[in-house]
Amino acid sequence: MPVEKTTPPVTAFMLVKTTPEWLAMTPRERMNAFVTRVVPAIEARTTGVRSRFYDTEFYSTRVTDVWVWEADDHEAYQLLIDALRETPFWERCFTVVDLLVGTENGCARTYGLKAVATLAT
For the chain, give percent helix, strand, coil, nearest 5: 35, 25, 40
How far apart, in whole angstroms, are the C-alpha atoms of residue 38 and residue 84?
A: 7
Q: Which pLDDT score is estimated for 118?
A: 65
Per-residue pLDDT tens digits for 45-84 = 999 999 999 999 999 989 999 999 999 999 999 999 999 9
pTM of the model: 0.84
* Per-chain mean pLDDT for the chain: 90
| CA distance linking residue 12 with residue 60, whole number of Å | 19
113-118 average pLDDT score: 76
CB neighbours of residue 116 within 10 Å: 9
- List the single range of 7-21, 68-82, 101-115 with lowest mean pLDDT: 101-115
Q: Which domains does the chain have, with CATH numbers?
A: 10-110 (3.30.70.3420)
Q: Answer whether 65's CB lies under 8 Å from 55's CB.
A: yes
Closest C-alpha to 18, from 29, 6, 30, 28 = 30
Q: How confident is the model at residue 119 (pLDDT cuts 50, 70, 90)?
A: low
In this structure, what are the phi and psi dihedrals at residue 29, rounded to the nearest 5 degrees? -65, -40
Is residue 1 predicted with pLDDT exceeding 50? no
Res 3 pLDDT > 80: no
